[in-house]
Amino acid sequence: MNRKLFNIVMGILITVLFSGCSHRDKTGYYPINNINSKLSHSSSGLTCSNEKEDYYYSNGIIYKYGNSIESSEPIVNTYEVPGGEEYYPTNIAVTNNYLYFIIDGKLFRTDLLTKKTDSLFSELTGRFDDVAADKTGIFVSYFTDISRIYWLDDGKKEWGNAIDLQKILSEGEKVQNINDFNNYITTFNNYLILGDDHLGIDNIRVTSAFSQKENRINLGNFGSAEEYFVLNGMIYGLTLDGYYPIDNSSIKYISALDNYDSVHFNWKPGHYVVENDKLYLLVQYAKPPKVVNPHQSDSIFDALIEVDPITGDSKELFKTKSNMPRIVAYEKGFVYLFREYQISSYNLATGEEEKLADLPENDSLIFDCVNGKIFVYRWETKYHGLVAVVELMDE
């Protein structure tokens, strides 16, 4: 074979090989629900943890995770609860004693000891549309004409015991928001509760619940007109180009975003987190009019931005060169990347990358971080199947 013919053949082979990868990358659908396993509230409805044990939904069953998917323990078959044969859970949450989940607007509770499942508050005519748990109780969103957030101590079964957090908010501190509506702040148990009157003074809503002990989002911004984070007891509003203490109308701009056009990205709960007194932001840069879009055909690149809210300094920690790899998690100095159906860790301090796991080839995968792990799901129309659990790196 002469050199010219050899070059032609090799060119064809390379084109075929790389066009296959390129086509796959351009057609995939890869949502990232939560980038930090410790400090972000995940509203995916698929995974949860009480910090001791992890629970996940897969193909009609909610399991307690063991050391592997195969060793996981079935807790409740959701097909056997009313509506479970037609719908899958939209949210699950776990305390020390009970597992809570929502199916078709109805709230259910499973005793972790006996595995007995009850339908809670079936006498109510509205819909439950979110539930988030702590060790001692749950935040639950209940919708009639508007959504209201209630707190319920773990184990309580009477709706009269539910605490309406909107009423508590109305008696708390009120501050003017830079967008000309009021924020309301109050303390409750070990939480900072934040709300606003974006819909009017008669419709004060809870938008976030933060831990007072750590910079953790316990309840993500449900129905909020803004995104918020907390650092050392101070709540900040987050804009597309900066942030501001909510009791101050002055915006601090994020200089690391100077070269980013805001029509290409947006923030969402689970894609930002405070760790070691710094704010970390996941940028999923997309083709307009899409923002925060998991479709590969709409993605341009991913980036991770670090912001020091105290000094105002910011920098770009990591940026992909194209729409693949995707950033699926960040924690403790490691960026976790998805490419070619593998997950790898990238050490920001050393620049070293290490393969952690192979994934099944599928053009629709979901990534969600919980309690030191990345749970990877195969996206399906009606049900979702867990295909891998990847342990995050230790420091």
Each residue's pLDDT, cut to its tens digit, for the chain (395 residues) gives 444 443 433 343 333 333 334 445 457 899 998 898 877 666 667 899 988 899 999 999 999 999 899 999 999 999 999 887 888 888 899 999 999 999 999 999 999 999 999 999 999 999 999 999 888 899 999 998 878 899 999 999 899 999 999 999 988 899 888 878 889 999 999 999 999 888 887 788 898 999 888 888 888 876 676 889 999 989 999 999 999 998 887 899 999 999 999 999 999 888 999 999 999 999 999 999 888 878 888 999 999 999 999 999 999 999 999 989 999 999 999 999 999 999 999 999 999 999 999 999 998 999 999 999 999 999 876 678 999 999 998 76
Q: Where are the domains of the chain?
A: 44-161
Q: Which of 26, 109, 71, 37 is nearest to 373 (CA)?
A: 37
CATH architecture of 44-161: 6 Propeller (2.120)
Radius of gyration of the chain (CA): 22
Model's pTM, two decimal places?
0.89
